[in-house]
Structure 1
Amino acid sequence: MGAEPRWLDEGEMRAWRNYVVGAAMLSDRLHRELQTDHDLSLADYEIMVRLSEQPGGRMRMSQLAEDVASSKSRVSHQVARMEKEGLVRRRECPEDGRGVFAELTADGARLLENSAPTHVRGVREHMVDLLSPEEQEVLAKVFNRVITHLRGSDG
């Protein structure tokens, strides 16, 4: 039998539960705002943002999955659906023949440009503007540490 768990104390439990509920509510609100105003999911928006930040608006599917913290399979299904909607296209990687690129289309870029103000407004209203610059810095450092830890333990 394993060692006794290190139960959370009251402060740790409050921090954990507030994070879980707050993150879920924030994600849901941002998704609804994009869905209502642009018929776009938050997940699709995030894919298009990541692609738009790359040269030529494209990146390897495996890197895209890592960047959006999703499985390769889930991103593959998502990109296939987005491809049917004309927002992205898949291209074979000419360097190795096995890799696949996801590439933002002109229609996808237009939708991203039109929806970005809605998303940024929501991010500001529902989170960023509620925090002081010092709190923003702490939040960034904390979640950088969490991301680094989790990416290091996935291998």
Structure 2
Amino acid sequence: MTADGTDEPPGIDEPPWLDETEQAVWRQYISVMRLLPDRLSASLSRSHGLTLIDYEVLARLSEAPLRRMRMTELAEGALLSKSRLSHQISRMEKDGWVRREPCETDGRGFFAVLTDQGWDKLLAAVPLHVRDVREAFVTPLSREQLVALGDALDVIGKGLEQGRG
């Protein structure tokens, strides 16, 4: 016990506790953050043998010039650690969806390249995934709510990006 009668060490301030509204919104966000990816991944897995991360990697590669990206750039965009992406790409290589190519200008760097088989896998899954995203995420909201959510997520995301620097 400290001199002032508390159990806290000196210099530790009481945190600014969340009020009822803040706590409720935070808990709602945590629930959605867990439930939505699980639902989308389960649907992709059941219908196409893909995880949500598989889909994300395939989609990012499909949008890249020549359907290829540097592994480091892909890891950053998909919010995966370099080692997690490396394991992910290894698994996807075994399935024939991607291949690695060495970087001509950097002897240690590699590109992830979307194969024709990966392209076909993605194209088959897109309609289901878009329908699921619309049903679970877009349709429950009015246009104004969707725009407000986008604005709020942008503010939060920018704050988190600054913290990563």
Query: Aligning the two structures, in what range does the TM-score lie when normalised by the shorter sequence?
Result: over 0.9
1:61 partnered with 2:71: yes
The runs of 5 or more residues in structure 1 that have no matched partner are: none
Residue pairs, 1:73-112, within 5 angstroms:
73-112=83-122
TM-score scaled by length of structure 2: 0.90
Equivalent in the alignment of 2:4 = none
> 1:43 maps to which residue?
53
The CA distance in 2 between the partners of 1:28 and 1:41, in whole Å, is 9
Deviation of 1:130 after TM superposition, in Å, equals 0.8
**Large movers: runs of 4+ above 2 Å:** none
**2:81 and 2:13 mapped to 1: Cα distance?**
32
Seq. identity, %:
47
Corresponding position: 1:26 with 2:36: yes
Distance 1:83 1:130 in 2: 37
* TM-score normalized with structure 1 length: 0.96
Deviation, 1:24, is: 0.9
Q: Over residues 54-98 of structure 1, what are the superposed CA-to-partner deviations in whole Å (9 max), with x where a residue is unaligned?
A: 111111111111111111111111011101110111111112222
Asked if 1:13 corresponds to 2:5, the answer is no
Structure 2: segments with no counterpart, 5+ residues: 1-10
- Which of 117, 123, 146 is matched with 2:127 structurally? 117
In the comparison of the two structures, how many residue pairs are matched? 155
Q: Which one has the largest radius of gyration?
A: 2
- The superposition leaves residues 133-153 of structure 1 with CA deviations (integer Å, 9 ceiling, x where unpaired) of 111111112112222211211
Q: What is the CA distance between 1:122 and its match in structure 2?
A: 0.3
Q: How far 1:22 sits from its partner (Å)?
A: 1.2
* Counterpart check, 1:142 vs 2:142: no
Give distance in 1, aligned partners of 2:82 and 2:161: 15
- The letter of the residue matching 2:12 is G
Select 1:52's aligned residue among 62, 65, 75: 62
Range moving further from structure 2, 50-59 or 143-152? 143-152
The residue identity in structure 2 corresponding to 1:60 is R
Could you tell me how far apart the structure 2 residues matched to 1:140 and 1:78 are? 29
